[in-house]
């Protein structure tokens, strides 16, 4: 009974580089969320997938951020031309309850991204 896993756990990259962050949700969970958590803050919503499609991507800060979930399971968050302000912990969560935000989410341990 594996939980949500995220890789890598830590990523250090130089300003301007491209990064990919991976999330493996709990098997069978159709809903998947990405969040960004800056130091001393709560998680900030980025994007919500229901199955393969992005049901709500209104939290993505700009067009440098993009996420995919091609087979409805694993998801990848992609950040182009990284900036120092992108440094944060990126959290992934999955849920068996689609639709309205009423269900329990199961969070992964996060990927700590540092842009130098």
- Strand partners of residue 107: 93
Residue in 92, 81, 109 with CA at minimum distance from that of residue 45: 92
Q: What x-and-dash track marks residues 8-27 binding other proteins by CB under 8 A?
A: --------------------
Q: Residue 73 or 105: which CB sits closer to other proteins?
A: 105
75 binds other proteins (CB under 8 A): no
| Count of chain residues binding other proteins (CB under 8 A) | 28
**Range in contact with other proteins (rule: CB under 8 A) among 16-24, 70-78, 79-87, 102-110:** 102-110
Window 33-52: residues binding other proteins (CB under 8 A)? 33, 35, 40-45, 48
Helix (H, G, I), strand (E, B) or coil at 84: helix
Helix (H) or strand (E) segment spanning residue 34: strand 31-37
Q: Who contacts 16 (Cβ-Cβ below 8 Å, separation ≥6)?
A: 81, 82
């Amino acid at each position: 009974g594996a939980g949500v896993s995220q890789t890598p756990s830590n990523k250090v990259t130089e300003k301007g580089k491209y990064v990919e962050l991976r999330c493996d949700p709990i098997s069978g969970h159709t809903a998947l969320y990405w969040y960004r958590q800056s130091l001393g803050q709560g998680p900030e919503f980025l994007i919500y997938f229901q199955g393969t499609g992005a049901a709500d991507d209104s939290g993505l800060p700009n067009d440098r951020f993009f996420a995919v979930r091609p087979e409805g399971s694993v998801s990848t968050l992609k950040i182009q031309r990284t900036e120092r302000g992108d440094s944060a912990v990126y959290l992934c969560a999955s849920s068996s309850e689609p639709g309205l935000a009423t269900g329990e989410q199961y969070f992964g341990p996060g990927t700590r991204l540092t842009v130098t």
